[in-house]
Amino acid sequence: IPQGVATLEIGPFASPTLTGPNVSYFDVLDAQQIQAECDRLGISRERVPEVIDFVSRDTELSDISRKFDLVYSSHAIEHTPDVYAHLPSVPGLLNEAGLYSLAIPDKRYCFDHYKALSTVGDAINAYKEKRQDCSLSAWIDRYTHGTHNDPARHWAGDHGPPPFQDNVSIIEVALREFESDTNASKMAPHFWFFTPDTFAEIVRTGAALGYTGLELREIYGTAQGTCEFFAVLERNN
């Protein structure tokens, strides 16, 4: 990121997309906790940021007092229990011409393939419930409705075997983990399952209802062979 462009990346975890002296990071874990999670998951900690500038276990952005030209979120919004509660927290972080850019997994081409698409109704329901936590059902579905994460195979029509929700041993593992005291990984499940069209619909509806303070500026479809699409939002003036 060039000088003069104040940037905040949300959810870099162990692999930040943006780097440079003008980039700050926000995550639910600090750098040491991310390193510990890398060790637990058996992944490299080489690119973990030295410092996570802003840490909030409940993903609370309103405590950040700075303004940014760009807020960037990579594969983070799908982990937010309440989409319509998350989006209004972003305009207050943006300078007048600031942009909110997101990279979002397309559920058709990742391990979420067999999970039901999220709807506007789902988003409104979560908003009205003021949903904040990972439900037991979302945690179990992570284990029972997941599949492989190879985008090329999904694009070729190979989605793996259908969900094995009746596998009691898998459900027992999920229950043990959910009920354990070490629950740092409870932010791991995806709560939302988007395609470019459904995400655009949810954002436009939220803006029309006055929920978000953000409007959709651009949506970029999922490139063949990949598992993510991109969106750019701007302040609703």
Q: What pLDDT digit, counting tens, does each position of 95-128 carry?
A: 999 999 999 999 999 999 999 999 999 999 999 9
Phi/psi at 4 (5° precision)? 90, -5
Distance between CA 64 and CA 89 in Å, rounded?
10
Q: Taking a C-beta distance cutoff of 8 angstroms, is the pair 233, 104 a contact? A: no
pLDDT at residue 148, rounded to an integer: 93
Q: What pLDDT digit, counting tens, does each position of 172-200 carry?
A: 888 888 887 665 445 568 899 999 999 99
pLDDT at residue 36, rounded to an integer: 93
pTM of the predicted structure, to 2 decimals: 0.87
DSSP-derived 3-state class of residue 116: coil
Q: List the one residue out of 174, 83, 159, 171 whose CA is nearest residue 120.
A: 83
Q: What is the mean pLDDT of residues 64-68?
A: 91
Q: Which amino acid makes up residue 18?
A: L
pLDDT at residue 133, rounded to an integer: 79
> Could you report how far apart the first and last alpha carbons of the chain are, in Å?
26
pLDDT at residue 189, rounded to an integer: 81
pLDDT at residue 157, rounded to an integer: 97
Distance between CA 132 and CA 103 in Å, rounded?
22
Q: Give Rg (Cα) of the chain.
A: 18
